[in-house]
Structure 1
Amino acid sequence: MSGIGSTGQRACLAVPGADERKLAKAAALDADEIVIDLEDAVAPAGKRAARAAVASWLSSGVRLRGRVAVRVNTPGTSWCHRDIEACVRLETVHSIVVPKVESAADLAFVGRLLDGLELEVGRERPVRVQALIETAAGLAGIAGIVAATPRLDSLVLGYADLAASIGRSVAAGPGAWVAIQDTVLVAGRRAGLAVVDGPHLGVAVDDTFLAGVRHAADAGFDGKWVIHPGQIDAVTAAFTPAPDRIEWAERVVTALSEGHGSGVGAIDVDGQMVDEAVAAVARRVLARADGGLR
């Protein structure tokens, strides 16, 4: 990882794996990432059928605008290894989202399984991994989780299951989650990972939704999951820097690079003394501006 923590995940649309109509609609949407859900969105009796349907759909030559991730079932369930095997066989799948990650051992298991399956099928591009942090145990073990596998690209904060795990109301406002958000953000940034905010549980693009999106962007998240196509544009806009901010970042990075070439560690840009700390902020702005690049 670059340490900047951006993987082009501004708006990530979660789509039920068992709903063919929603999958077909998602293919034409401008989300940076489509997250096909084989876990919570699929009833136990329908797991096998949903997996087969998703595999068939992704193998059919469908053209998608965004990257494809698949939320597999939790490690230790009877479906997880079959889900992962199906994903490895699908070149369209860029990453798997592992739910309820609670320890480094969970991701170590996933990494070993991916290693063997990729060798078996001769896959050239490794499957990347995203970890859903959505339990108290996951929060407690996050220092080990972020170092568990070199395949790990992103942490995703899952509010619904986390609320149940710690006994907090799902209706709690953004302020109730600040400490937890900072825990995940700091751990992710220290490991050079992207950190993505979990979805707002309503489908409307109302003041509550927009306030949550702005809070996540201001807090430092790289993007946010959404559960309704109508929310994509607002999230993409919130996590895309304004043109003047991009121009400032480009000037900072260029000026400091030239300064370093002349043996100067800090340099004046637009009346502001710029050093490596400011340049790190500028590089993050530029990484976020490139959020749609794949």
Structure 2
Amino acid sequence: MSDNASALRRRSVLVAPASDARKMAKALGSRADAVVIDLEDAVDPSSKDRARALLAEVLRDVAEADAERVAVRVNPPGSPWCHLDVAALTDLPVAPGAVVLPKVDGPEDLAFLDRLLDGVEARSGRTRPLSVHALIETAAGLTRIADIARSSRRLEALVLGYADLAASLGRAAPVGAHLDLWLPAQSAVLVAARDAGLQALDGPHLGVHVDEGFLAGAARARDVGYDGKWAIHPRQVEELNATFTPTDDQVRHARDVLAALARAAREHAAGAVALDGQMLDEAVAVAARRVLARAGLDL
């Protein structure tokens, strides 16, 4: 589990290509909880160097406090660009809040990134370790998800990546009738994340519209228990923020649960505590705290 776990909500995580300054600026100016600047899939191999330079230019206009919501997706371990991407973080005008590592097959991939980041931080003098988000998008990564989730002190979130995982498994991406096929993968990532105290983020709907498939995928991820979902177009952000924000009734119930348990503790009440016919215990309290955290409220 990360030593520097963030309280940042990530109901919506908007992805923008590092090769396009306009799209990066638009993403950074959006109402997305977090922004991922992509040096990997969204950038042609011939444009990797230019994309790194463009990322640095765009981040010059980002306040240090706002940079916490920015993550940089580097290229995968074993590629010709991963070490170059990580080294370039030293020269950015402001440090991002996190690094997203794609195609994580096992703990050794995160160990490799840890060593690279140790060097970057030593050079830059950064005292707070950069956080890491692991993209689970291969059969190997899904098989070893429990080990991955507990393999790095920097790790803050697990992200389920559908496009590459679909190719790895030889199945269709999760749209429409295919959603149910992905429940085992979603559950595996969620359980590993919760066991390690990490955020669980659903990958993007593979389309730019807020259509039936997008809405169904977002609702499914919320109902399964995910904290948020990636988006590939700004028009999807508002819907994700609404989908992953608890309703007023849910917030009210969560507060009532915690108040009832606190009152019982103060009064040293014997026996079970009940609220509106529901028996309350620590498991219910954990769920209530999560509701308030998702709503961006103090406990």
2:139 equivalent in structure 1: 136
> 5 Å matches for 1:10-159?
10-61=11-62, 67-90=69-92, 91-159=94-162
> Which stretch of structure 1 is more off in the superposition, 202-211 or 164-173?
164-173
User: How many matched pairs?
Assistant: 291
TM-score, normalising length from structure 1? 0.93
Gaps of 5+ in 1: none
For residues 63-110 of structure 1, the C-alpha deviation after alignment (integer angstroms, 9 at most, x for no partner) is 859710010000122211121122244434000000000000000111
- Contact 1:15-1:34 within 8 A present in 2 as well: yes
For residues 229-264 of structure 1, the C-alpha deviation after alignment (integer angstroms, 9 at most, x for no partner) is 100011100000011211111121122133234444
2:239 equivalent in structure 1: 234
Cα RMSD for the two superposed structures: 2.2
- Aligned-pair CA distance for 1:158: 0.3
For residues 102-123 of structure 1, the C-alpha deviation after alignment (integer angstroms, 9 at most, x for no partner) is 0000001111221222122101
Judging changes above 3 Å, is the alpha-carbon distance between structure 1 residues 80 and 253 closer, same or farther for their aligned structure 2 residues? same
1:270 equivalent in structure 2: 276
Alignment partner of 1:193 is 2:195: no
SS at match of 1:185: helix
Alignment partner of 1:9 is 2:32: no
- Contact 2:8-2:69 within 8 A present in 1 as well: no
> Which stretch of structure 1 is more off in the superposition, 178-187 or 89-98?
89-98
- Aligned-pair CA distance for 1:271: 3.3
SS at match of 2:53: helix
Gaps of 5+ in 2: none
Judging changes above 3 Å, is the alpha-carbon distance between structure 1 residues 254 and 115 closer, same or farther for their aligned structure 2 residues? farther
- Aligned-pair CA distance for 1:203: 0.9
TM-score, normalising length from structure 2? 0.91
The runs of 4+ residues in structure 1 deviating greater than 3 Å are: 4-7, 60-66, 88-92, 261-266
Give the letter aligned to residue 59 of structure 1: R
Judging changes above 3 Å, is the alpha-carbon distance between structure 1 residues 111 and 195 closer, same or farther for their aligned structure 2 residues? same
Alignment partner of 1:167 is 2:193: no
SS at match of 2:97: strand
- Aligned-pair CA distance for 1:270: 3.0
SS at match of 1:111: helix
For residues 176-227 of structure 1, the C-alpha deviation after alignment (integer angstroms, 9 at most, x for no partner) is 1001111111111110110000000011111221111111111100000000
